[in-house]
């Protein structure tokens, strides 16, 4: 499922607001401009009506229209400028009307909307009533506003284009500012990834005022988790040492008991030792924690392998291939896991042990094999059973593999037992990595220990 993006949501909200505002402004501006245009045209028509009125003069037979005093546009057919003068039963029309009729408003004032004129012209009509020389005179003038509307449309398209450009520019500017404002969040996210990779212990406290409390709380939680884990491991170590002495005393005492009782005591004490060792190992497992010390195979494995080889006191051919990069896995957990695997392999191997650690984009795969007798496929599940050993004479697979299984479970990983090409047991462990834990490119290194 795709995760929502704050930047995308904020950008979408701002763009939507800008679009709504721009649309509202466009509607209001268009209405205001159209109103101003109509008012301007009516003022021109009022001037035209007064000029027509000025051309009406008294004559020998009463009032007459002096066409020589009219504007030339009224004499040119279908010019787009028209008038009609009504004096009682007398009606004068401009020659520009030709044989068309001019619809006159029923009352003085501007006609509502635009009227249909000659040849589909859009006419704005105005009727004004006067009284001159004791006679009522009605003057109706009209003008074709289609060219004016066309020019208004062109201006509107130009403004629309400029508005779109301005909107795109504003969107780009706000996205730039958004990225700038969210930069501290990206920095905090990168620092959290570095925490998971073990490249830092705490987040930087230099942050904007809004993020400072969150970062301080995360740092406090990290410090508390680290301290709690350290105290827990220290206490478990003390507990393990404290239990060793009483158990050793009981084992020593059991050797002096009668044979039937001795066998029973030794069996129960062995089970107690195995159970205590496993539960202490389980409790020490950190699992998928953040901010702990990370596992560096090339640095941590040589000493571990040398210690295991010395503990068994045998000349074994131990070969290992590990990455150069640091892995996003808790160091002590990996040492516990690999220590148990190596211990089991060295106990059962005849002469050879092989260890491989292969990090991938989503998981780390660990394979350890030996040339020992191995385990029959039908008994793999039994070997992983809690505290179970297949050979009671040699401490081996049961306890070690059980602890490994617990650690793998803590990391939500997988573990399987296979037949090794060397002839013995092959243990394969796959530990998943989180999305931020993709390892860096590495150069495998093979080191042969004899």
Domains of the chain, by residue range, sit at 6-149, 293-449
Give the pLDDT of residue 311: 86
42-68 pLDDT per residue, tens: 899 999 999 988 888 887 777 888 888
Q: In this predicted structure, what is the pLDDT of residue 429? A: 95
- Give the whole-number percent of the chain exceeding pLDDT 70: 83
Provide φ and ψ at 400, rounded to 5°. Answer: -60, -50
The sign of the torsion formed by the CA atoms of 312, 313, 316, 319 equals: positive
Q: What is the pLDDT of residues 161-187, one digit of tens each?
A: 888 898 888 888 888 888 888 788 888
- pLDDT 10s digits, 428-438: 999 987 654 44
CA-CA distance, 284 to 141, in Å (whole number)? 100
The pLDDT value recorded for residue 357 is 95
Helix axes 331-348, 259-284, angle to 10 degrees: 140
pLDDT at residue 386 above 60?
A: no
C-alpha separations of 315 from 306, 321, 382, 392, 395 in Å: 11, 19, 30, 24, 19
Question: pTM for this structure?
Answer: 0.48
**Mean pLDDT over each residue of the chain, to the nearest integer:** 80
Tell me: pLDDT of 254 over 80: no
Class for the domain spanning 293-449: alpha beta
pLDDT at 274 over 80: no
Residues 185-215: tens digit of each pLDDT: 888 888 887 776 666 777 887 777 777 888 8
- The string over 206-228, giving b where at least 16 C-beta atoms fall within 10 Å of a residue's C-beta and e elsewhere, is ebeeebeeebeebbeebeeebee
pLDDT higher than 80, residue 21: yes
Of 10-19, 119-128, 178-187, 231-240, the range with the highest mean pLDDT is 119-128
| pLDDT exceeds cutoff 90 at 282 | no
Strand pairing category for 317-322 and 352-359: parallel
Show the tokens assigned to 46: 């009022």
pLDDT tens-digit series, residues 62-77: 788 888 888 899 889 9
Chain center to CA of 245: 56
Q: What's the pLDDT band for 393 if we cut at 50, 70, 90? A: very low
Q: Do the beta carbons of residue 430 and residue 440 sit within 8 Å?
A: no
Q: How confident is the model over 249-261, as a mean pLDDT?
A: 75
């Amino acid at each position: 499922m795709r995760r929502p993006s704050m930047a995308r949501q904020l950008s979408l909200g701002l763009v939507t607001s800008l679009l709504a505002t721009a649309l509202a402004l466009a509607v209001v501006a268009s209405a205001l401009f159209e109103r101003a245009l109509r008012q301007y045209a009516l003022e021109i028509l009022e001037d035209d009506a007064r000029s027509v009125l000025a051309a009406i003069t008294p004559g020998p037979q009463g009032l007459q229209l002096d066409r020589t005093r009219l504007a030339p546009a009224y004499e040119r057919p279908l010019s787009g400028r028209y008038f009609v003068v009504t004096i009682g039963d007398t009606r004068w029309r401009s020659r520009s009307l030709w044989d068309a009729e001019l619809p006159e408003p029923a009352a003085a004032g501007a006609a509502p909307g635009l009227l249909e004129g000659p040849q589909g012209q859009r006419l704005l009509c105005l009727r004004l009533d006067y009284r001159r020389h004791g006679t009522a005179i009605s003057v109706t003038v009209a003008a074709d506003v289609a060219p004016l509307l066309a020019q208004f449309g062109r201006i509107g398209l130009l403004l629309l284009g400029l508005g779109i450009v301005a909107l795109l520019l504003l969107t780009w500017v706000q996205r730039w500012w958004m990225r700038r404002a969210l930069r501290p969040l990206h920095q905090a996210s990168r620092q959290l990834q570095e925490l998971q990779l073990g490249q830092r212990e705490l987040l930087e406290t230099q942050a904007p005022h809004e993020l400072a409390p969150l970062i301080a709380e995360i740092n406090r939680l990290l410090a508390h988790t680290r301290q709690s884990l350290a105290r827990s491991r220290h206490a478990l170590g003390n507990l393990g040492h404290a239990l060793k002495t009483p158990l050793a005393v009981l084992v020593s005492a059991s050797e002096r008991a009668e044979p039937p009782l001795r066998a029973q005591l030794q069996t129960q004490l062995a089970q107690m030792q195995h159970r205590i060792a496993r539960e202490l190992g389980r409790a020490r497992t950190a699992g998928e924690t953040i901010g702990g010390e990370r596992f560096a195979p090339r640095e941590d494995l040589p000493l571990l392998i040398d210690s295991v080889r010395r503990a068994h006191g045998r000349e074994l051919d131990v070969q290992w291939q590990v990455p150069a990069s640091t892995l996003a896995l808790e160091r002590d957990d990996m040492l516990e896991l690999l220590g148990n695997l190596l211990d089991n392999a060295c106990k059962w191997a005849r002469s050879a042990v092989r260890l491989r650690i292969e990090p991938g984009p989503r998981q780390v795969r660990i394979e350890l094999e030996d040339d020992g007798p191995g385990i029959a496929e039908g008994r793999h599940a039994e070997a992983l059973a809690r505290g179970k050993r297949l050979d009671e004479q040699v401490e081996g697979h049961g306890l070690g593999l059980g602890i490994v299984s617990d650690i793998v479970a803590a990391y939500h990983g997988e573990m399987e037992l296979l037949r090794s090409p060397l002839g013995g047991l092959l243990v394969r462990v796959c530990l998943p990595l989180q999305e931020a834990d993709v390892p860096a490119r590495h150069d495998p290194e093979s080191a042969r220990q004899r």
